[in-house]
Structure formats: structure tokens, C-alpha cells
Structure 1
């Protein structure tokens, strides 16, 4: 299975944005190392924004393009549509519910088969979570300390209902654009794919 590899902090510095969520990711960043510090053309700005969003969700180019093209077919305002599709990926939902400290860690946990969706084992990080789906830990995995530690550090999101005692969470509605904790201008990405 293909996934984004390579030095995470170096990627954050070159993109000029902390896309991995680690508190020390931008410590060594200077104004001269990031791409957004240089004067960019319109195309360069759009490309940079696309690369930032791809890096944030850990999605490769081909899969990312599929999300965008599906959003173009779905409606007149594709920006929020493809953002909510990325946000409701299985690995991202595991991260948002607090089971993992990063999307990369959540992806690994999903691959290792620690989670159930509506009582059935799913180990595909790109699985699209639907409204009402319940994500829970397998019985064998509930004793692992890492999940309990991560849950204590988690934050709440209005579109999720997380039961920390039962170690499970539910997507209660699709996320609104202003609820997503990402610093991205999706209009630039739409313009990039509209060329």
C-alpha cells in the first residue's frame, strides 16, 4: 500500500505550515526555507495550497485528485464537499476522536486492525465514514494503554460524539467548513483543478 513517507518536519518547513500537528515541527523554520516566502505565480500558489492539504491528510496525488473530481460532479460548490470527504476518512476520524496523536499514527492503528466500524473489522484507512457510523476499539485492543493515554489528550469536535469510557465514537453529522481545524484556502485548489 502506498503512503507518504520521508522526513515530516522537513516537509512542514518547505510547505511553510505545520501539516503534521507536531508541536516542534516548525522549530527550525526560517523565512527563507519555505516556499511561501518566495514570490509565487498564481499557479505556484495554487500548487502550494494543494500540496499542503495533501500532506495534511497524508493522501497521494492520484487519490487526492479522485476526491476533487468526485466533488466537482457532486455539486456547484466542490470545495466544502471534497474537504468533508477527506475529513471523514477512517484514519482521520480515528485521529479526530482522540485514539491517536497524529493522522500517521491513526493510519497505522487502522492498518493493524484495532478498530471496528458498526461492529465489523475494517482495516482500510481510506474507508469513507458515513453519518451514524460507530467507530469502536476491538475488545483485545481496549486494554492497551496507548489508547487510554491518547483519549485523555483529545479535543472535542461538534460533529463527533465520543464516549471515552466505552472507547468509541460516532459521526453525528457531516462537518461544516468552519469547524475544520485546517489553515487551507480550498478555493485555490479548486482553481488548480479547474484549469
Structure 2
């Protein structure tokens, strides 16, 4: 009943803004109010039981091209690290697991946490731009620990500890 009153106040039809399948046109009927979405007609009383719109959304790293301008802050070596990208891809499919990567950057040990496709530096700053790698290209991965996720620093449960990059790549990425 409320929908009929709203339609009468709107003049019988309304255009709403939203995602890709819009505009919606609300068309009153003599017997019941109906909502028409392109060619599909769905009865208004059933709307709260049905899911009309579904817009998948995922945040991933953006593609960087060679012809893009170089960073002005001098950190262009943080653009892309192939090993970190492979570990992020692995962590997306490894449910309930997180990775702690131990690496050396300019004679300094750096720890990186990778969980569900995202990486964060535990021993330094993490770039705010998700398209940039947390490790520079000159970094050398020393070992990888597989732990139960999500990461809890007070209670870290190791599944495998001290894997080299080559051992990790051959044993886990090959499956």
C-alpha cells in the first residue's frame, strides 16, 4: 500500500540512480504494483525475498606500464617484485594460512606478512599505494614461514618454518 502511495506522489514512474542495469522504471498496475527492470518484471511484494542486484567488487593491484611517469620521491625500485606477487597469489587460495617472508634489503632484515592476497611490512613502512610492492626489486628472500591465519603476534602457530624461496616454489606453488 505504501508503494502505491509513493508511486502516486511520483506521478506513476521514477528513475533511480545506481549500478549498471539502471535506470529502473516503476510502473503501477491496477491489481498490484510491479517493478520493471529492462525486460524482467518482478512483483513488488516479493522484492524483499529476492536479490535484484549483484555487483562483484574486488580490490587488486593495478597494472603498471613502462611508459608511466617515474615516481618523484625516488622509490621507483618499489614498483613490482615478482616473488611477492606470486606469494600474494598463493595466499589468496590458501585459506586459513598466512605467510611471513624474511628478506634482506641493503644488509637489513625485513619481515613481510602476506595474507589473503595482500602484503604488509612488519619491520618497516608499507607503501600506501597497493600497486607498489612492499619489497624493492633488490631485496633477497631468505626464508618463508607458513603460519595459521589470521596473524596473531602473541600466538603464532607455525605450519612450516624456514622454507627457502626455491623449496617453497617447488613444493607448494607446483600443486
TM-score range, shorter chain: under 0.3
Per residue, is there more helix in 1 or in 2? 1
Choose 1 or 2 for highest CA Rg. Answer: 2
Could you tell me the TM-score, scaled by structure 2's length?
Answer: 0.26
Could you tell me the TM-score, scaled by structure 1's length?
Answer: 0.24
Larger relative CO (CA 8 A, sep 6+): 1 or 2? 1
